[in-house]
């Protein structure tokens, strides 16, 4: 009986440790703004630890569709390439780690990514939205 109890406790401890190490950080992202006005993309935290990360994205706009693109920057002050004629970021020149696209007004979306230490940019790349302020930087530490 003692062996069974000891074995059970050992399994419980191993599962507890494993589940703790697999816990992901959640970053809440709120997008807002209507056509012709200021656009916003806000994060509930601007610095997180490296590892599994879940971006919980909410489009707070009343009429405007938004998206969230996650980009790993080479440096914290990397220049973001724009295609001025299209009023969009040139995503082909950046390292995208995924996106939540076509978020209708009031809708929610989610993106999971394993992040290493460095600088990241979250942005909306719908025509004109990035230029109107829909961007936020995220710092990931060890």
Domains in the chain, start-ordered, CATH in brackets? 24-141 (2.60.40.420)
**pTM for the full model?**
0.82
pLDDT band at 133 (very low <50, low <70, confident <90, very high): very high
pLDDT in tens, 42-52: 999 999 999 99
59, 110 Cβ separation under 8 angstroms? no
139, 50 Cβ separation under 8 angstroms? no
Tell me: pLDDT of 8 over 90.
no
pLDDT band at 99 (very low <50, low <70, confident <90, very high): very high
> Which residues are CB-contacts of 74 (< 8 A; sequence separation ≥ 6)?
95
């Amino acid at each position: 009986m003692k062996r069974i109890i000891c074995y059970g406790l050992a399994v419980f401890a191993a599962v507890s440790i494993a589940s703790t190490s697999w816990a992901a950080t959640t970053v809440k992202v709120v997008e807002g703004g209507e056509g012709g006005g200021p656009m916003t993309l806000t994060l509930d935290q601007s610095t997180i630890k490296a590892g599994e990360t879940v971006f919980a994205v909410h489009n707070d706009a009343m009429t405007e569709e938004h998206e969230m693109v996650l980009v790993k920057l080479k440096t914290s002050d990397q220049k973001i390439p724009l295609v001025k004629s299209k009023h969009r970021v040139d995503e082909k020149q950046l390292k995208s780690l995924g996106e939540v696209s076509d978020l209708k007004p009031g809708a929610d979306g989610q993106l999971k990514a394993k992040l290493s230490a460095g600088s990241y940019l979250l942005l909306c790349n719908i025509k004109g939205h990035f230029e109107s302020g829909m961007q936020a930087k995220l710092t990931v530490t060890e």
